[in-house]
Amino acid sequence: MKTKKLVELAKTIRSKNAGTDKITFDIIFRERENYELVKKSRVLTRQTIAQLYAIPEERISDFVEFDPAFAIKFTIYRQKPSGSPGETDVFGCQQYPPLLDVEVPVV
């Protein structure tokens, strides 16, 4: 089966703080076709995100496929509040890299 990496299909893949206790992730596509391809492939679901980040599904507070913006968004609860001792990403902006190499089946 032929695949492409998510980073080849999406315009933007990013993470950022969503308050002190959450990190939100945005995967935004320029073309509807790429968005629909990823959405229909089911490579990004609550279950696959939990596996990718090695977290229980309960840590995913939101998961949305937002058709008007060709975007897939999800939010996870942090293990420690932003800026607390031992927390290593105060802004939540270094959490997206595991998404880059997600393989998406293409026809």
**Residue of 26, 27, 19 whose CA lies nearest to 91:** 19
For 33-74, the pLDDT digits (tens) are: 999 999 999 999 999 999 999 999 999 999 999 999 999 999
Mean pLDDT for the chain? 96
pLDDT at 16 over 90: yes
Name the pTM for this structure: 0.93
Has residue 107 got a pLDDT over 80? Answer: no
- Residue 23's CATH number: 3.30.70
Residue 89 is assigned to a structural domain of this protein: yes
Whether 103 maps to a domain, the answer reads no
Q: Which residues contact 3 (CB under 8 A, 6 or more apart)?
A: 103, 104, 105, 106
Region 20-27: mean pLDDT is: 97
- Residue 76, domain extent: 3-97
Contact 106, 2 (CB under 8 A): yes
Number of domains within the chain:
1
